[in-house]
Amino acid sequence: MRHLAGRAGSVVAGGRPTWLVCRFTLTGRHDGPFLGVPPTGVEIALPGITVLRFRDGRCVERWSAADMLGVLVQVGAVPAPVRGSPAGTACPAGCRPGTVARRRAGEHAGPSAP
């Protein structure tokens, strides 16, 4: 994935020390090997969040999390989990990994999603 585009979602800043929280989504096409998965040409969306803490005008801490499992589902490397099933349960027979991910490409996939 050589050509990624980023879009910031919610950005919140404030407090002492200063905190900055930013939700983001990276989008691009799976046009090269990624984590051992050959190119599929699928458009992917990678939602995530970054939290920064500043002191004296400098960033002193950073935490980030992104939905890498979602990307692996989108490129067909792993089957999509079934909603409402125990963690680790794969799609039932007939479920194709790419179809679920394409339908959800623009949805928020963070911890507060149903």
In a domain, 87, yes or no: yes
Number of domains, the chain: 1
End-to-end CA distance of the chain: 29
pLDDT in tens, 20-73: 999 999 999 999 888 888 999 999 999 999 999 998 889 999 999 999 999 999
Average model confidence (pLDDT) across the chain = 76
CATH number at residue 8: 3.10.450.50
Closest CA to 73 of 49, 42, 50: 42
Residue 110 lies in a domain: no
Question: What is the per-residue pLDDT for 15?
Answer: 76
Whether the CA torsion 98, 100, 105, 110 is positive or negative: it is negative
Q: Is residue 108 part of a domain?
A: no
- Could you tell me if residue 19 is inside a domain? yes
> In this structure, is residue 35 part of a structural domain?
yes
pLDDT tens digit string along 32-47? 888 888 999 999 999 9
Give the domain range for residue 24.
Answer: 4-103
